[in-house]
Chains A and B, each alone.
Chain A
Amino acid sequence: MADQSEANRLQQETAFQKILRRPEIGSFVVMIIIIAALAIASDGKAFNPLGLKNNIAIIAQYGIIATGAAVLMIAGEFDLSIGSMIGFAGMSMAMMLKWGLPFGLGEATPAAAFFITLAMTLGIGWVIGMIVVRSGLSSFIVTLAFLFFLRGVTEVCFRLINQSTQISGLQDFKLESWFADIMGGEVFGWFYDIWFALGGNLNRNGEQWVHGFDARFFWWIVIAGVSYFVLSRTQIGNWIYATGDNKEAARANGVPVDKVKVGLFMFTAFCATMFAACQVYDTNTSDAAKGNLMELFAIAIAVVGGTLMTGGFGSILGVVFGAITVGLVANAVFFIPAIDGAWFRVFLGGILLAAVFANERIRKRITGGI
Chain B
Amino acid sequence: MAEPYLRVENLVKRFGPFTALGGVDLEVFPGEVHCLLGDNGAGKSTLIKTLAGVHQPTEGKIYIEGKPVTFRSPRDASAAGIGTVYQDLALNPLMSVTRNFFMGRELTGPLGSLRMNEMNKIAHDEMLKIGIDFSDPTQAVGTMSGGQRQTLAIARAIYFGAKVILDEPTSALGQRQQMGVLKTIKRVRARGDIAIIFITHNEIHSRLVGDRYTFLALGKTIGAGTATEIGDKEMRRLMSGGAEMGDLKAELDAI
Chain A bound to chain B? yes
Chain A residues within CB distance 8 Å of chain B: 1-4, 6-8, 10, 229, 233-239, 241-242, 245-246, 248-250, 252-255, 308, 312-313, 363, 366-368, 370
Given A10-B136, A366-B140, does the pair A239, B104 have CB atoms closer than 8 Å?
yes
Closest to A7 in B: B134
Q: Are A366 and B143 in contact (CB under 8 A)?
A: yes
Contact of B104 among A233, A255, A366 (CB under 8 A): A255
Minimum CB distance partner of A1 in chain B: B131
14 chain-A/chain-B pairs, Cβ below 8 angstroms: A1-B131, A3-B147, A10-B136, A233-B116, A235-B112, A238-B99, A245-B92, A246-B90, A249-B89, A250-B92, A250-B103, A250-B104, A255-B104, A308-B94
CA distance in complex: A366, B92 (Å):
11
CB of B95 within 8 A of CB of A245, answer: yes
Report the minimal beta-carbon distance from B75 to chain A, rounded to whole angstroms.
7
| A6-B180 Cα distance, complex, nearest whole Å | 11
Chain B nearest CB from A310 CB (Å) reads: 9
In the complex, the answer to whether A233 meets B143 with C-beta atoms within 8 Å is no
Interface residues in B128-159 (C-beta closer than 8 Å to A): 131-136, 139-140, 142-143, 145, 147-148, 151
Write out the residue numbers on chain A whose beta carbons fall within 8 Å of the beta carbon of B133: 3-4, 7
Count B-side interface residues using an 8 Å CB cutoff: 41
B45 within 8 A of A: no
Within 8 Å by CB of A246, from B93, B102, B113, lies: B93
Smallest CB separation, B241 vs chain A (Å)? 32
Q: How far is the CB of A11 from chain B (nearest CB, A)?
A: 10
Q: Which residues of A contact B93 (CB under 8 A)?
A: 245-246, 366-368, 370
Given contacts A249-B88, A253-B105, A368-B142, contact A234 B94 (CB under 8 A): no
Choose from A10, A253, A254, A312 the contact partner of B94 (Cβ within 8 Å): A312
| Known interface pairs A238-B102, A254-B104; A7-B135 also in contact (CB < 8 Å) | yes
Is B255 close to A, CB under 8 A? no
Within 8 A of A (CB), among B62-119: 74-75, 86, 88-95, 99, 102-106, 108, 111-114, 116
Q: Is B249 an interface residue (CB 8 A)?
A: no
**A241 adjacent to B151 (CB under 8 Å):** no
Does B190 sit at the interface, judged by CB under 8 A? no
Residues of A within 8 A of B105 (CB): 253-254
Cβ of B176 under 8 Å from chain A? yes
Q: Which residues of A sit under 8 angstroms from B136, Cβ to Cβ? A: 10
> Contacts of A235 on B, CB cut-off 8 Å?
106, 108, 112-114
Report the nearest A residue to B140, measured CB to CB: A366
What 6 A-B pairs come out closest when comparing CB atoms?
A254-B104, A367-B142, A245-B92, A253-B104, A252-B90, A249-B90
